[in-house]
Structure 1
Amino acid sequence: MMKTIEIVKIMELESLPKQIGKEVHVGGESIALFHLSNGDVRAIGSRCPHTNGPLAEGIVSGEFVFCPLQNWKVSLVTGEVQKPDDGAVPTYETKVIDGYVYIAV
């Protein structure tokens, strides 16, 4: 059975500060949304696979976020935790259209 993908309008881009995460809830999913310093918008599962830490509250560095509880480094591109730690969070495709952020869920 194929999974249905829904494109959901989330918020105005200008209301999403750069380098600060925001947790949003879309279609039953808890998602951490980030506006990077290079202008990209990234979305990943909001909970660290290690301690269930709130990734939206983590420190952003480049295309990574550090879990605020145990400092695990999670890629905002692939969702994978940097070695030597193991784990991953889901990633979500984002688009900015006419100044609004959309997420595919």
Structure 2
Amino acid sequence: MTTWQAICAVHDIPVLGARRVARPQGLDVALFRNAEDEIFALLDRCPHKGGPLSQGMVFGRSVACPLHNWTLDLCDGQAAEPDEGCTPAFAVQVRDGQVFMDAAELATKATDLTRPIAGPARRCGQAASNAA
């Protein structure tokens, strides 16, 4: 049996925008609202370079990553061709103007995923073997 956790009111999510849902463990989840007031939930991490999807542009049932403009489907987190990759999608329900998420899924799904960490900076022309 699914336990639905109240998250926020629909009007707390900007139209064509997002709101982040912090979790005790793992990356935040981004709630998105499109022009038709549909609500979607994805892990707030682009599969390409880890960009924060909550800062992306929402259009139709898609979001464009703010870093490199990858387009992801809000329904399933799948990247649009020719790009490849996927970010986890989360179950969401709207009842009486309130947004609910599956509490167990919110607590456990994709908690092992992290954002990419940049490597050490190098000066121009410095060989990779000399970097330390």
The two structures, once aligned, show a CA RMSD in angstroms of: 1.6
The residue type equivalent to 1:18 in the other structure is: V
Question: Given that residues 22 and 33 in structure 1 are in contact (C-alpha distance below 8 angstroms), is that contact kept between their aligned partners in structure 2?
Answer: yes
> Which residue of 2 is the match for residue 98 of structure 1?
96
Q: Report the AA paired with residue 69 of structure 2.
A: N
- Measure how far apart 1:98 and its partner are: 2.2
1:61 deviation in Å? Answer: 1.0
CA distance in 1, matches of 2:62, 2:96: 26
When normalised by structure 2's length, the TM-score is: 0.71
Q: Given the alignment of the two structures, is residue 87 of structure 1 paired with residue 81 of structure 2, yes or no? A: no
Higher helix fraction (1 or 2)? 2
Choose between structure 1 and 2: higher strand proportion.
1
Gaps of 5+ in 2: 106-132
Give structure 1 regions of 4+ aligned residues with deviation exceeding 4 angstroms. none
Q: What residue identity is the alignment partner of 1:51?
A: K
Counterpart-to-counterpart distance in 2, 1:86 and 1:94: 24
For these two proteins, the number of residue pairs brought into alignment is: 102
Work out whether 1:20 is the aligned partner of 2:17: yes
Whole-angstrom distance in 2 between the partners of 1:14 and 1:97:
13
Contact 1:22 1:57 in 2 (8 A): no
State which drifts further: 17-26 or 63-72.
17-26
Match for 2:60: what amino acid? G
Give the match's secondary structure for 1:21. Answer: strand
| Aligned equivalents of 1:13, 1:83: Cα separation in 2 | 30
- 1:53-82 Cα offsets, whole Å, 9 max, x none, are 000000111000000001000000111001
Higher relative contact order (CA 8 A, sep 6+): 1
Question: In terms of Rg, which structure is larger?
Answer: 2
User: Runs of 5+ in structure 1 lacking a partner?
Assistant: none
Corresponding residue for residue 109 of structure 2: none
Q: Within 5 Å, give how 1:26-45 maps onto structure 2.
A: 26=23, 28-29=25-26, 30-45=28-43
